[in-house]
Amino acid sequence: MRPIAKVYTALIFLFLFAPIAILLVFSFNSGNSLSVFSGFSLHWYQELLHDTNTLGALKNTLILALSASILSTILGTAAAVGINKLRSRTMRSAMNTVTNIPMVNPDIITGISLMLLFVFAGRLMGLGTSLNFWTMLIAHITFCLPYVILQVLPKLRQMDKSLPEAAMDLGCTPMRAFLKVELPEIMPGVLTGLIMAFTLSLDDFVISYFTAGNGFETLPIRIYSMTKKTVTPKMYALATLIFFAILALLIISNLMDEETAQERRLAKAKRKKERKPLSPQAKRTLALSVLGGAAVLALAVSFAGRAQQLELNVYNWGEYISDGSEGSLDTIKAFEKWYEEEYGQKIRVNYSTYASNEDMYAKLKSGSVSYDVIVPSDYMIARLIAEDMLLPLDYDNIPNYKYIGEQFRGLYYDPNDEYTVPYTYGVVGIIYNANQVDEADIGDWDLMWNPKYAGRILQFNNSRDAFGTAMYKLGIDVNTGDKAQWDQALAELQAQRPMIKAYVMDEIFNAMESGEADIGAYYAGDYFTMADAQADSVDLQFYYPPATNYFFDSMCIPSCAQHKELAEIFIDYMLSEEAAIANAEYIYYACPNALVYESEDYIDEMGEEAMEILYPPMDDFKERYNSYAYQNLSDDILSYMNELWESLKIN
């Protein structure tokens, strides 16, 4: 290699590995920030090992990638053999065109189109849940197939056609001739296809996002769902572990290849003309396929077996339940254990997560999933009730409901307390960096429109909350049905746009912690997460503007639930002292459960400042809540808002 080529290669590799280096370094961060490094620690690795949900998602991802790549390799290789032998030109080019479609189609279209098909087929067959592991598997096989075929076809074409014919003249069956003669010849192509398929399947997010269903959460979906709370260095730790595992595997495989190459050279030297039926490489692949096949089978069996076992499908926000980190209680595991002790029967909770109310609604509305417990926010609850998508609860099965404070009952979205059990609540406030922002400027929403801080301000990257900030500022009712008032709010947001640094959701954590931005509105509890991780030069503070958003996230049972009573038992358990405190301390939002907010241990643990901010004065709470909370907008206004939002975003 010439020196210039060496330098060039080094630069390209630097580019390829720069982000990998970043996640490697930050996986050892002792703090919880992804942009402020506060010291070396193995803390996140420990957390990771205790996080059964994340490890479960990893397992799911691997199972999916392994089954999809092996099945698509088998199917694709057979297809390539068939296509290669097609006599008619038209047929061949037709097959090639069809094969190319998934490659020329953006993955978002492949995802949506398959989802539409599955939903339709599910309705046709009268299934309540048509999206599940198997639909994801089909989707993954579908987009992997072309890559396999395109790897295998050229190898087939390069092969001497007389070889398999000779084998058959000598008495081989076509199958035997294929296995003994053709397969070893095309093995390199098959292997590359397998590896590509595995890689693509492992990395896919978009197609999985649209075709994912009940109780089968993959890693990319889990990570995407952390969009409201925050992505922790735990995910980086996981990526680092994966990195080293792959590195080890590749080094081993390279060494083995080296051996085979040497063997081959030796064989050549001896002028042995004997054709090995299968190269060691091919044997390894075969072994792998058999293993993979066994894995798929085992999975199928375990799925079938699970039908006997009690199952509960819970669908919650990302990072919205205590997961056993920092020595806390893993409330899902604790529930499973408690249930078995109490009722003498094993239960399995399939826990999956979503990034927004709207994501969750889109899945439910498609009629292709079945969840037993969901945790929507207030305005979404109102919508679900209006569309008959929630079941009334049997509060006799939820005795712990009595601990929900009186002021948190009979709220507008469920005036007669029929459908919901409040899980968390909170208020939106403004977070600012006191080292940069003048104390005189704080107090209300004007801070987010203050030209003094142009380029340092963050705004919500979700339409409802962003319009909310403008409407509270203007004194407009956030639930107005008057389009002129929405236009007014849009004008306010458009005026703000040149001053905005970024439209953010979870990115706000990074931006505020590192001092990238100085002002941003977010949910009160999250302020403490940011303040904990702030850089030395940053001093984050928080206040509530006079009019601002109050929200509730409540546990509900959707009408697609299959285990209603079980779901009620689960909800009741989540209200029990131990579980409720663990969840409240983990989520860091206010909890409407008296067992929590009156617990001295909890109050001590949270500290005075947190209690004061998280639990605003209660005297006029209900009134304030009912007048400031988001309510369900009519379809007309909702789509009008979306249009306005798009026109703001394209500026």
Partner 1 sequence: MKDTVSRQRARVATADRAALAPYTVWAVLFILVPLVFVAYYAFTDNAFHFTLDNVKRFFTATSTVIGSDGSAQEVRTYLLIFWRSLKLAVISTVICLAFGYPIAYIMARAAPRVQRTFMTIIMIPMWMNFLIRTYAWMTILQDKGIFNNFLTTLHLPAVHIIGTEAAVVIGMVYDYFPYMILPLYSILAKLDPKLLEAARDLGCSGWGVLKRVVWPLSLPGVISGVTMVLIPSISTFYISQKLGDGKFFLIGDAIEGQYVANNLHFAAAIAFVLMIVLLLCMGLMRKLAGRRVEGGL
Task: Show contacts with partner 1 in window 168-187 (CB under 8 A).
Answer: 168-169, 173-175, 178
Q: How many residues bind partner 1 (CB under 8 A)?
A: 120
Among residues 237 and 571, whose Cβ is nearest to partner 1? 237
On whether the CB atoms of residues 53 and 332 are closer than 8 A, the answer is yes
Site for partner 1 in 255-274 (CB under 8 A): 257-258
- Please state, in angstroms and rounded to a whole number, the distance separating the CA atoms of residues 640 and 486: 9
- Residue 88 C-beta: closest distance to partner 1, Å: 12
- The answer to whether residue 85 forms part of the interface with partner 1 (CB under 8 A) is yes
For the chain, give the number of residues: 651
Is the Cα torsion angle 276, 279, 284, 286 positive or negative in sign?
negative
Pick the binder of partner 1 from 7, 10, 14, 17 (CB under 8 A). 17
- Residue 70 C-beta: closest distance to partner 1, Å: 15
On whether the CB atoms of residues 420 and 376 are closer than 8 A, the answer is no
Across 490-513, b (16+ Cβ under 10 Å) vs e yields bebbeebeebbbebbbbbbbbbbb
- Residue 383 C-beta: closest distance to partner 1, Å: 10
Pick the binder of partner 1 from 78, 256, 298, 454 (CB under 8 A). 78
- Strands (DSSP E) contained in 471-605 are 500-504, 519-523, 540-543, 550-555
Q: Is 593 helix (H, G, I), strand (E, B) or coil?
A: strand
- Residue 108 C-beta: closest distance to partner 1, Å: 5
Pick the binder of partner 1 from 351, 361, 625, 628 (CB under 8 A). 361
- Please state, in angstroms and rounded to a whole number, the distance separating the CA atoms of residues 535 and 38: 8
- Token look-up 């000779």 returns 166
On whether the CB atoms of residues 86 and 92 are closer than 8 A, the answer is yes
- The answer to whether residue 507 forms part of the interface with partner 1 (CB under 8 A) is yes
- Residue 16 C-beta: closest distance to partner 1, Å: 5
Site for partner 1 in 587-646 (CB under 8 A): 638-639, 642-643, 645-646
Among residues 219 and 349, whose Cβ is nearest to partner 1? 219
- Please state, in angstroms and rounded to a whole number, the distance separating the CA atoms of residues 3 and 5: 5
- The answer to whether residue 649 forms part of the interface with partner 1 (CB under 8 A) is yes
- The answer to whether residue 163 forms part of the interface with partner 1 (CB under 8 A) is no
Q: Which helix or strand (DSSP H or E) is residue 358 part of?
A: helix 357-365
- Residue 591 C-beta: closest distance to partner 1, Å: 28
- The answer to whether residue 244 forms part of the interface with partner 1 (CB under 8 A) is no
- Please state, in angstroms and rounded to a whole number, the distance separating the CA atoms of residues 69 and 193: 8
On whether the CB atoms of residues 420 and 555 are closer than 8 A, the answer is yes
Question: Tokens at residue 620, please?
Answer: 């006029």
Pick the binder of partner 1 from 63, 64, 79, 374 (CB under 8 A). 79
Pick the binder of partner 1 from 160, 203, 340, 601 (CB under 8 A). 203
- Token look-up 């199952």 returns 311
Site for partner 1 in 35-74 (CB under 8 A): 35
- The answer to whether residue 302 forms part of the interface with partner 1 (CB under 8 A) is no
- Please state, in angstroms and rounded to a whole number, the distance separating the CA atoms of residues 259 and 252: 11
CA dihedral (147, 149, 152, 157) in degrees, to 10, reads -130
- The answer to whether residue 451 forms part of the interface with partner 1 (CB under 8 A) is no
Site for partner 1 in 382-441 (CB under 8 A): none
On whether the CB atoms of residues 381 and 414 are closer than 8 A, the answer is yes
- Which candidate, 363, 55, 371, places its Cα nearest to that of 212? 363
- Residue 318 C-beta: closest distance to partner 1, Å: 12
Interface with partner 1 by CB under 8 A: which range of 108-116, 328-336, 540-548, 570-578? 108-116
Among residues 85 and 337, whose Cβ is nearest to partner 1? 85
Interface with partner 1 by CB under 8 A: which range of 113-121, 279-287, 295-303, 523-531? 113-121
- The answer to whether residue 205 forms part of the interface with partner 1 (CB under 8 A) is yes
Pick the binder of partner 1 from 134, 338, 395, 503 (CB under 8 A). 503
Half-sphere exposure of 189 toward its Cβ, with a 13 Å CA cutoff?
25
Site for partner 1 in 509-548 (CB under 8 A): 510-511, 514-516
Pick the binder of partner 1 from 120, 302, 443, 612 (CB under 8 A). 120
- Which candidate, 413, 386, 384, 419, places its Cα nearest to that of 401? 419
Distances (CA, A) of 478 to 410, 415, 486, 590, 644: 21, 20, 9, 23, 15
Interface with partner 1 by CB under 8 A: which range of 41-49, 139-147, 396-404, 613-621? 139-147
Site for partner 1 in 483-502 (CB under 8 A): 494, 497-498, 500-502
- Residue 183 C-beta: closest distance to partner 1, Å: 12
